[in-house]
Amino acid sequence: MKVKDDQPLRIGFYVCHCGHNIAGVVDCAAVAQYAATLEGVVLSRDYKYMCSSPGQELIREDIRDHNLNRVVVASCSPLLHEHTFRTAVAAGGLNPFLFQMVNIREHDAWVHTDKAAATDKAKALAAAAIRRVARHRPLETTRAPIHPDVLVVGGGISGIHAALTLANAGKKVYLVERDPSIGGHMAQFDKTFPTLDCAACILTPKMSAVRAHKNIVLWTYSEVAKVEGYVGNYTVTVRRKARYVQEELCVGCQECVEACVFKEPKFPDRFNVGLSRRKPIYMPFPQAVPQAVVIDPERCIELKTGKCKKTCLEACADRHAIDFQQKEELVQIHVGSMIVATGYELFDPRRLPHYGYGRYPDVLTTLECERLISSSGPTGGELRLHSGQAPTAVGFVLCAGSRDYKTNRWCSRTCCMHSMKLAQIIRERTGAEVTLFYIDIRAPGKGGEEFYDRALAQGVKFVRGRVAEVSDCPLSPAEQGKLIVRVEDTLAGMVRRIPLDMVVLAVGMEPQANAQEVRRIMNMSCSAEGWFLEKHPKMAPVSTFTDGVFIAGCCQGPKDIPDSIAQAGAAAAEALALIDAGGIDQEPNTAYISEEDCSGCKSCVDLCPYKAIAFDPVKEKASINAALCKGCGVCVAACPSGSIGQNLFEDQEVFEEIEGVLAHA
Amino acid sequence: MPENNWQPRIVAFFCSWCTYTAADLAGVSRLKYAPNIRIIRLMCSGRVDPQFVLEALARGADGVLIGGCHPGDCHYAEGNFKTLRRYQMLRRVLGAMGISEERIRLEWISASEGERVRMVINDLVERIRILGPLDLPGRLAACDAELGASAQALRLPQYRQPAADLREVIHG
């Protein structure tokens, strides 16, 4: 076989057993024996764990002792360990790109049961890599600089924590939040499980710290509109929606709200999940950060008709904070990395009509119940029925929109603990009977089981069974005027009807409705359910497939506050590691044009989405700017004269692979 | 190769970001599919040169599968649209060559769709099984032999094998 450099080929081939993962299905020794017969292979071994340090040491020593000039490892996916083995090859004194990896775990041993067929497939894939690696040439990586500024998207507890961590490390952070205030779902909670400490007492200081921090630029009521560039060098366009109030001039006195021509608050208040009313000009909630009011253009008479007395302007007087002329703005910023912490949405229980939400006023969601018992809520913390009376019997329906094949299959992880928290608070404050209808109580995490014990000790009743129906049709005098929960008590082995005053649905978590849009803007992937996909579920839980983009909190999957904060810290640490490394090595898979072969047809020029191809009208040749090339190879496949090559994915390398996979029967 | 022992051989070109990752996910999820597929990783489905597909068929593949990101989701913005264009062209070329268009397939499979990898591979293997072996190398050899024999019978000097010419064209 012809090789570009003059040296004769000396390929070292290694098959990894990966314990039983590969060796349980693929006959590794047979693959090694087969590979030893192939052209250019001077050494062929099988070994238990190639990625372990003795495995890597083996490669290093063999390169030295056997004068290897190419290395092939058949093990797991290159997306997992290609970097590991390239590093080992480099440590052996060889250019790291004179290496090729064969995926015989994810693409072979794990997906096939027929051992003979799987072994044959491994041989074919090995033959392909051995043929391919012969064509490899030494390549050099380029190092891209990293812009030190970071964008954090989402101002819930995850985004807040990530932003503060980075800012405390001296990095400039842009925190972009869609709502008029940061705080997210946690701001709506009364207490947090399992410690029952007040949510506001631990969240609001962090919110103020964000506002006060000299390294944080806080943009609320803003959304990311566009992201361009690549790791280390992103250009982000942020849409700053019109608030109609100059944030920096507003002091948060709310005299304008008092003075509004609407004498009574009339419109549903989002913060209290529609349980209270607000005016067209309003403060999102008392502890909102920034402390600036916002005008709802859908409701404000001036903004709708231009014919209002504008009493708010008079009230604002010489502060001149209200600005009806304010327009949406697009602002461009440059950052090196981004943390996405866009959170979750609650399941809409109207999708489960048999639970009566929306039909019976005393069927609530956990968040509504939370607002009702919160001292900052619409009732000042008094749990009241629709009629105004205090409930004497309250039931919690768990797994409403979770662990359910008809709606969402996943466990939302927090609803058991959330319901037990509300149950305990209701027991304490009102003495009402509280019954939890559950499938399984899931109380993992620190203090979770103890919290469950505490709920039991407080006399909260637990009925095991998925609730079939909530109705108001009485069958007995005891059920008159009550909500009746029909449930199969799977421990008692009978169907029961339990009359209650109030039913709280423990609604699960769902990906944000615009998660797909955000995913596209950020160039991320989503799981089948719609949660943002991490690079590796265990080894890279906050990284994404796009370098420099990290994820934290519930946008990645349901989790509680401690887990969200832990992830936010991890994401901040990953971003810091990237920034402080000073640069990132880029895969040398760029395309290049051989000038003498280029016919100047310009087919490639318009194909490049990165404008990396320029045409020289004097020489009548195209050329590729390697700094702009991302290595997709679209132009390579299109060039009619075959004059474009792609490092790491040369035509000849792919042809060898094709021939290789088909050479073995 | 005896007909009754014939097993379909399919070469797949998967984009590294979506379909290759989905195939990794199928592995991690221990989904089982037919072992007749050989996956080659490329950075983008837009890198799939139609020559790759022709080469695979000429080397003995019975079918070719191309996997890329869903339209609008391409890691490189729009590489998959170029793939789609070339795929339509390839189908016509293959049809003109008398090769069933069903032997090549383009699928959009995102990184989370491990189950879809399993489904698509199993389905393609079954369809190719119904179509039977393509055996393009065998056909090209037979063509050479036949033309060579008639050339000999006609005592034509300096005969060049047309199938070998075709191979040269295909291999570039």
- Which CATH number does the domain housing residue A637 bear? 3.30.70.20
Residues of A in contact with B20 (CB under 8 A): 79
Q: 3-state SS of chain B?
A: CCHHHCCCCEEEEEECCCHHHHHHHHHHCCCCCCCCEEEEEECCHHHCCHHHHHHHHHCCCCEEEEEECCCCCCCCCCHHHHHHHHHHHHHHHHHHCCCCHHHEEEEECCCCCHHHHHHHHHHHHHHHHHHCCCCHHHHHHHHHHHHHHHHHHCCCCCCCCHHHHHHHHHHC
| Nearest C-alpha in B relative to A529 | B112
The answer to whether the CB atoms of A520 and B72 lie below 8 A apart is: yes
Residues A536 and A492 in one domain: no
Q: pTM value?
A: 0.85
Contact A649 B59 (CB under 8 A): no
Same domain flag for A227 and A266: no
Distance CA A586, CA A139 (A): 11
Domain range enclosing A598: 591-647
Determine, yes or no, domain membership for A322. Answer: no
Contact A634 B82 (CB under 8 A): yes
Q: CB distance from A125 to chain B under 8 Å?
A: yes
Chain A contact for B80, CB < 8 A?
no
Chain A (614-643) residues lying within 8 Å, Cβ to Cβ, of chain B: 630-634, 636-638, 642
Q: Which pLDDT belongs to residue B1? A: 45
> What CATH number is attached to the domain comprising A572?
3.50.50.60
Q: Crossing angle of helices B136-153/B50-58, nearest 10°?
A: 70
Return d(Cα B105, Cα B122) in angstroms, integer.
13
Enumerate the residues of chain A whose CB falls inside 8 A of the CB of residue B27. Answer: 77, 105-107, 110-111
The reply to whether A499 and A517 lie within a common domain is: no
Can you read off the two tokens belonging to residue A372? 């009702």
A99 and A23, same structural domain? yes
Which amino acid is it at A67?
N
pLDDT of B143 reads: 83
Residue A438, beta-bridge partner list: A464
What's the alpha-carbon Rg for chain B, to the nearest Å? 18
Residues A363 and A469 in one domain: yes
Q: Mean pLDDT per segment of 10 residues, for chain A of length 665 residues?
A: 66 97 97 96 96 96 96 96 96 97 97 96 97 96 93 98 98 98 96 94 96 97 94 95 96 94 95 95 95 96 94 93 96 98 97 97 97 92 94 97 96 97 96 97 95 97 97 95 97 96 98 94 89 90 93 97 98 97 91 94 92 93 91 95 95 96 81
Q: Are residues A447 and A504 in the same domain?
A: yes
Please tell me whether residues A374 and A494 are part of one structural domain: yes
Residue that is last in its domain, among A543, A570, A586: A586
Considering the domain architecture, whether residues A27 and A98 belong to the same structural domain is answered as yes
**Gap from A257 CA to chain B (nearest CA, Å):** 45
A114 touches chain B (CB under 8 A): yes
Give chain A positions within 8 Å (CB) of B44: 632-634
Same domain, A492 and A641: no
Residue A264, amino acid: E
Domain assignment present for residue A422? The answer is: yes
> For residue A661, is it within any domain?
no
Which chain B residue has the Cα nearest residue A521?
A: B73
- Within this chain, do residues A228 and A338 fall inside the same structural domain, yes or no? yes
| pLDDT of amino acid B125 | 97
Residue A73: burial class (beta carbons within 10 Å; 0-12, 13-18, 19+): buried
Which residues 20-59 of B have a C-beta within 8 angstroms of A? Answer: 20-21, 23-24, 26-28, 30-33, 35, 38-44, 46-52, 55-56, 59
Q: CA A286 to CA A270: how far, in whole Å? A: 13
Residue A337, H or E segment: strand A337-340
Domain co-membership, A36 together with A99: yes
Q: Sign of the CA dihedral A49, A51, A53, A57?
A: positive
Which among A90, A105, A139 is the end of a domain? Answer: A139
- Identify whether A665 is part of a domain: no
- Burial of A379 (C-beta count, 10 Å sphere; 0-12/13-18/19+): middle
Contact A634 B47 (CB under 8 A): yes
pLDDT digits (tens, 9 = 90+) for B108-154: 999 989 999 999 999 999 999 999 999 999 988 888 888 777 777 77
Question: Hey, how many other C-beta atoms are within 10 angstroms of the C-beta on A301?
Answer: 15
Last residue of a domain, one of A554, A586, A618: A586
Q: How far is A32 from chain B (nearest CA, A)?
A: 19
Look up tokens 């954090």; give the residue.
A152
d(CA B10, CA B40): 11
CA distance B50 to B170: 10
Q: Residue A278: inside a domain, yes or no?
A: yes
Same-domain pairing of A86 and A159: no
Does residue B159 surpass a pLDDT of 80? no
Residue A660 domain-assigned (yes or no): no
B163: pLDDT confidence band, cut at 50, 70 and 90?
A: low
- What pLDDT is attached to residue B2? 47
pLDDT of B170 above 70: no
Residue A110 belongs to some domain of the structure = yes
Q: What is the per-residue DSSP string for A578-639?
A: HHHT-EEEE----EEE-TTT-----TTGGG-TT--EEEETTTTEEEE-TTT-----HHHHH-
- Whole-Å CA distances, B172 to A426, A636, B49, B52: 78, 14, 11, 10
Task: Return d(Cα A455, Cα A447) in angstroms, integer.
Answer: 12
Residue B162 scores a pLDDT above 80: no
Contact status of B70 with chain A (Cβ, < 8 Å)? no
Say what the pLDDT of residue A2 is. 40
The CA-based angle A60-A65-A71, given to 5 degrees, is 50
Residue A500: what are its φ and ψ, rounded to 5°? -140, 160
CB contact under 8 A, B28 and A642: no
Sign of CA dihedral A515, A516, A522, A528: positive
Note the residue count of chain A. Answer: 665
* Domains located in chain B, CATH noted: 8-134 (3.40.50)
pLDDT for A385: 95
Domain count, chain A: 5
In percent, the amount of chain B with pLDDT more than 90 equals: 70
Q: Is residue A101 part of a domain?
A: yes
Of B23, B43, B86, the CB nearest to A649: B43
Q: Cis bond leading into A194, ω under 30°?
A: yes
CA of B85: which chain A residue's CA is closest? A638
